[in-house]
Amino acid sequence: MRRADARTALAAVPPGLRSLVARLSAAGEELGLGVHLVGGPVRDLLLGRPLLDVDLLVEGGTDGAGEPALRLAKAALGMGERSVAHARFGTVSVHAPAGVVDLARARAERYAEDGALPTVRPGTLEEDLGRRDFSVNALAVPLNRVARRGRPALVDLVGGRRDLVARTLRILHPRSFHDDPTRALRAARFAARLGFRLERASAAALWAARAAGAFDAVSGERFRAELERSFADRSSDPGRLLRRLADWGVLDALVPGLGVPASAARALRRLGELLGEPPPGLAADPLLAGLLVWLAPLPRARRRRTLLRLALTGRPAARVEAFPALARRLERGLRRPAGRGADDARLRALPAEELLALAASAPAAVRRRVLRHAGEDRALSLPLDGDDLLALGFAGPALGRALAALRRASLDGRIAGRAEALAFVQGLARRRG
């Protein structure tokens, strides 16, 4: 376990954000505000992992001079940086060319009922750490002298460092999952990413929240947002994460009978790898790609109920509904021997999400052809463009067909270079005439 103090914390911040964090810390001293590195970044610092986020807690500023996080951000902004305030929760995102630093005022919170969004008020560092989801995230490193007054270099009020050593996720009070059932999805994400386990009393509290119907009170949008973070986590296996949620009864609490077939879990693992290192130029929405893979093997009625529970409607939902039939049709075509041009004709119109989902879920032989298209053929630059064909007399649908034929011939190796391409399309023009 690594040491954690202000010096090591600043050294662990990504280099492009280090100057910004140092300026925020110094500005806090001038304004009388304590600045702490908190939560996940401290956890990752202790584990020796790269800091994926930079979350700072701002303490003090109860003198009525305005939101302390916003005051701090404005005092520290440099060239090319801007701040975006989120007034409801007293948070500010500081955007720099190299990334984002998130600021939040220290706060306490209260839940009026199970699954409701909290009511928050300004609080102390100790109150803020006490509202966290798990002990391993209830850690803070004071960064400036105001924050360090009377405090150790690492603030650990609930044994979070001990749980890190034991690789354990532990909630801070028995009703934690009642207050916010989406913490179950975060627990699965941390378990999948870090290899941690949910300790026994916390697992019992999760089952108690499920039995009490706490999950029913949470909107589909909130669950969908947590799933989006899970599928976007490049260091996690989404198949393992969803299997963990199934084991904990969370998926069944969302939609009765919802699970993760073994085929989907394997495909989701491959999808996670593809999303982590996608083919060049192929950017996909991780959530949509994940839903395409996960829900495809499920019965249509259960797939539809899941989309409704997650409040996913419109075109994205229609794409998820249509993917199983689309994948079967494409797999049948791609099993037959064909040239690269034929594969390209089948796959080029696919959005990135369907293409990656097909690559993740198809048999190995088909997967290789899909990935070859995604990584090599999809970005093919033709020796002639539409203007060239217009000059040769092609127009309307005939122009589109000529470009498609030219593309197929190029991929199949029948033409190379501009001269051969011109001869090819001139031959098309003669046959058309």
The two tokens of residue 286 are: 């991780």
pLDDT tens for 390-421 read: 888 888 888 888 889 998 999 988 988 889 98
Instruction: Kindly report which listed range (161-170, 287-296, 352-361, 400-409) carries the lowest average pLDDT score.
Output: 400-409
Contact 286, 232 (CB under 8 A): yes
Per-residue pLDDT at 433:
59
Instruction: Kindly report which listed range (26-35, 163-172, 267-276, 417-426) carries the lowest average pLDDT score.
Output: 417-426
Per-residue pLDDT at 110:
79
183 Rama sector, left if φ>0, alpha if ψ -120 to 50, beta otherwise = alpha
Query: Do 159 and 18 lie in a common domain?
Result: yes
Q: Of 100, 7, 91, 99, which Cα lies nearest the Cα of 57? A: 91
CA 242 – CA 223 distance, rounded (Å) = 13
Per-residue pLDDT at 392:
84
Query: Do 326 and 400 lie in a common domain?
Result: no
- Asked if residue 213 belongs to a domain, the reply is no
Query: Do 45 and 154 lie in a common domain?
Result: yes
CA 276 to chain centre: 10
Q: Which of 75-84, 88-97, 139-148, 232-241 has the highest mean pLDDT?
A: 139-148
Query: Do 124 and 230 lie in a common domain?
Result: no
Specify the CATH number for the domain of residue 67: 3.30.460.10
- Asked if residue 215 belongs to a domain, the reply is no
Looking at 349, 377, 405, the residue that finishes a domain is 377
Per-residue pLDDT at 63:
59
Query: Do 336 and 371 lie in a common domain?
Result: yes
The alpha-carbon radius of gyration of the chain (Å, integer) is 27
221 Rama sector, left if φ>0, alpha if ψ -120 to 50, beta otherwise = alpha
Per-residue pLDDT at 222:
93
- Asked if residue 202 belongs to a domain, the reply is no
Specify the CATH number for the domain of residue 231: 1.10.3090.10
pLDDT tens for 110-155 read: 776 776 677 778 889 999 999 999 999 999 999 999 999 999 999 9
The two tokens of residue 297 are: 């093997």
Residue 58 in this model has a pLDDT that exceeds 80: yes
- DSSP three-state, residue 323: helix
CA 223 – CA 254 distance, rounded (Å) = 9
- Asked if residue 194 belongs to a domain, the reply is no
Cβ-Cβ contacts under 8 Å for 180 (sequence gap 6 or more): 111, 115, 118, 133
- DSSP secondary-structure letter at 256? T
Query: Do 10 and 155 lie in a common domain?
Result: yes
pLDDT tens for 156-203 read: 999 999 999 999 999 999 999 999 999 999 999 999 888 899 999 999
Helices 286-295 and 238-247 cross at an angle (nearest 10°) of 60
Per-residue pLDDT at 62:
63
- Residue 45 pLDDT level (bands cut at 50, 70, 90): very high
Burial label for 227, CB within 10 Å (0-12, 13-18, 19+), is: buried
- Asked if residue 173 belongs to a domain, the reply is no
The two tokens of residue 260 are: 């993760």
Query: Do 12 and 131 lie in a common domain?
Result: yes
Query: Do 149 and 236 lie in a common domain?
Result: no
Mean pLDDT calculated for residue range 281-308:
95
- Straight-line distance from the first to the last Cα atom of the chain, in angstroms, rounded to the nearest whole number: 76
- Asked if residue 78 belongs to a domain, the reply is yes
Looking at 143, 166, 189, the residue that finishes a domain is 166
What single-letter amino acid sits at 387? D
Mean pLDDT calculated for residue range 297-306:
96
Domain region containing 60: 6-166
pLDDT tens for 225-269 read: 999 999 998 878 899 999 999 999 999 999 999 999 999 999 999
Contact 120, 90 (CB under 8 A): yes
Q: What is the mean pLDDT of the chain?
A: 91
- Asked if residue 355 belongs to a domain, the reply is yes
- Residue 17 pLDDT level (bands cut at 50, 70, 90): very high
pTM for the model: 0.87
The two tokens of residue 266 are: 């394997």
Looking at 354, 377, 400, the residue that finishes a domain is 377
CA 183 – CA 206 distance, rounded (Å) = 9
Query: Do 360 and 286 lie in a common domain?
Result: yes
Contact 71, 24 (CB under 8 A): no
Can you say whether the dihedral through the CA atoms of 208, 211, 213, 216 is positive or negative? Answer: positive
Q: Which residues pair with 142 in a beta bridge?
A: 36
The two tokens of residue 140 are: 């803070």
Neighbouring CB atoms inside 10 A of 395's CB total 12
Query: Do 80 and 159 lie in a common domain?
Result: yes
- Asked if residue 401 belongs to a domain, the reply is yes
Query: Do 245 and 132 lie in a common domain?
Result: no
Query: Do 356 and 411 lie in a common domain?
Result: no
Quote the number of domains for the chain. 3
- Residue 428 pLDDT level (bands cut at 50, 70, 90): confident
Which segments of 166-243 are extended strands (E)?
168-169, 197-198
